[in-house]
Structure 1
C-alpha cells in the first residue's frame, strides 16, 4: 500500500467519523433539554461541517472547499454570538 493510498483511506475514515459527530450534534440540536444545549449543538454542528468541508477539499485535492469552510466558520461564529446574546438578554440590538 502506497503512502498516498494510506492518506486517502485516512481522510475517508475521518470523513465518516466527522459525519457521525454531525449526526450526534443534530440529535442534540433536535432533542436538547434546554436552549443553551441547542445553541452548543448548533455550534458543534457548524464546526463539524467545517471539518467535513476541509476533509472533502483534501480528498478531492481542490482549494474551493477551504474557502467555503472559511465562510461557514465566520457565519457560525456570528450566529453563536447572536443566539447567546438573545438567550441572555432577549434582545439582539442594544
Structure 2
C-alpha cells in the first residue's frame, strides 16, 4: 500500500506538534484532576492521542501495519474505560451521598 500527501508534507509534522501540546495539557489534567473520573477521562484521552499518533506514524512511515496496532490500542482503551466506569458506578452505589453525610454531622 503506497500513498502520498500531494503538496501537504507539512501537515504531518504540524499534527505531531499539536498532539504533543494536547498531551501536555491532558497530563496536567491527569495530575491535577480532583476526582477519579477526571483522571480516567484524562487517561482515555491520552490513549486516544496514542491511537492518533500511531495513525500519523503509519502515514509518515507508509506502513499499514501500524494501523493494526492503533485499532488494538483503541479497543483496549474502550474496554478499560468501560471497566473504570463500572468500578466508579459501584463505588457510588455503596457510598452514601455527600448531602446525607453533612446532615449527619450537623445533628
TM-score normalised by structure 1 residue count: 0.85
CA distance in 1, matches of 2:7, 2:14: 10
Aligned-partner Cα distance in 1 for 2:51–2:37: 21
- List alignment gaps of at least 5 residues for structure 2: 92-107
In 2, the alpha carbon distance for the partners of 1:72 and 1:26 equals: 19
Q: TM-score, normalised by structure 2?
A: 0.75
RMSD: 1.6
2:70 alignment partner in structure 1: 69
Aligned length: 88
Deviation at 1:4, TM superposition (A): 4.7
Point out where structure 1 has 5 or more consecutive residues left out of the alignment: none
- Provide the rounded CA distance (Å) in 2 between the counterparts of 1:84 and 1:15: 30
Deviation at 1:5, TM superposition (A): 7.0
